[in-house]
Amino acid sequence: MYSTAEFKKGLKVEIDGTPYTIVDFQHVKPGKGGAFVRTKLKSLLTGRVVDQTFRSGEKVKKPDLMEREMQYLYADGDGYYMMDNETYEQIRLTEEQVGEARLYLTDNMNVEVLFFNQQPVGVEVPLFVELEVAQTEPGVKGDTAAGGTKPATLESGVTIQVPLFINEGDRVKVDTRTGGYIERVK
C-alpha cells in the first residue's frame, strides 16, 4: 500500500483493479478543511488519462506488476514482436500496448515489458537511445553560431528537432521522455 505522501511522478498504483501510473500530482492545503492530493493518472491498460483526488493520508494499492527484459524483434501489420531474453519465448503486442515506445524502437533493442496479472500491458524503452539520422536538410557552413534547429527524421521514423550542424548518417542521443535531442554521438 502507498500513502499519498509517497506519491511521485511515474509511481504505479492500482485503483479499482486497474493499474495506473502517476503522470502529475499536487498537494493542496486549503484554508478550510483537510489537505488533499490532486492527481493525473494514466491507465496502463487503455492509455487513458483521468483526474482523481485523494484525501491526505489515504492509501492506494500497489499493483501486481512484473517487468521482464525482452528484445524487440520486428513489427508487422499485426503488431510488435518481442522475445524473452531468458526463455526465448516470443510474444506479440498491439500498438496500444507498445504506446509511445514505438517511436524509439529499433531492431534487437532491449526493452522492459510490463506485465499486469501475467498479461503484457506496456513497454518501457531506455531513458536515452542512440539513433541514426535518416533524413534532414544539409547544414550550411556558418549557420551554427545562431544555435538554431531543424527537423530530422531518425531511423525509427520519429522526427525531432536537432541543431543545424547535424547531417544525414550522424548518430544522435535522444531523451525518450521528452523526445528531445541530447547530443551527437561519435
Domain identity same for 133 and 99: no
Domain identity same for 50 and 82: no
| Identity of residue 5 | A
Cell of 135: 533524413
Residue 64 pLDDT: 86
Domain identity same for 136 and 113: no
Residue 140 pLDDT: 66
- pTM of the shown model: 0.73
Domain identity same for 50 and 84: no
CATH number, domain containing residue 53: 2.30.30.30
Domain identity same for 162 and 114: no
Domain identity same for 166 and 115: no
Give the range of the structural domain holding residue 168, as residue numbers without chain letter.
Answer: 128-185
Residue 33 pLDDT: 87
| Identity of residue 155 | E
Domain identity same for 9 and 52: yes
Q: Which residues of 161-180 are buried (b: 16+ CB within 10 A; e: fewer)?
A: ebbbebeeebebebebeeee
Distance of CA 81 to the CA centre of its chain: 18
Q: With contact defined as beta carbons under 8 Å apart, do 155 and 132 qualify?
A: yes
Domain identity same for 41 and 26: yes
**Count of domains in the chain?**
3
Count the helix, strand and coil residues of the chain and give each as a percent rounded to the nearest 5.
10, 55, 40
Q: Name the region of 47 (left: φ>0; alpha: ψ -120 to 50; beta: rest).
A: left
Backbone angles phi, psi at 172, to 5 degrees: -125, 150
In DSSP terms, 42 is beta-bridged to 21, 49
Residues 6+ away with beta carbon under 8 Å from 61: 1, 2, 13, 14, 15
Query: Of 60, 79, 100, which one is at a domain's C-terminal end?
Result: 60
Domain identity same for 116 and 150: no
Q: Show the low-confidence residues of the chain (pLDDT under 70).
A: 139-146
| Identity of residue 39 | T
Query: Of 75, 105, 124, which one is at a domain's C-terminal end?
Result: 124
Q: With contact defined as beta carbons under 8 Å apart, do 101 and 123 qualify?
A: yes
Distance from C-alpha of 106 to C-alpha of 70, rounded to nearest angstrom: 13
Distance from C-alpha of 150 to C-alpha of 26, rounded to nearest angstrom: 36
Distance of CA 83 to the CA centre of its chain: 19
Residue 97 pLDDT: 85
CATH number, domain containing residue 173: 2.40.50.140
Q: With contact defined as beta carbons under 8 Å apart, do 7 and 39 qualify?
A: yes
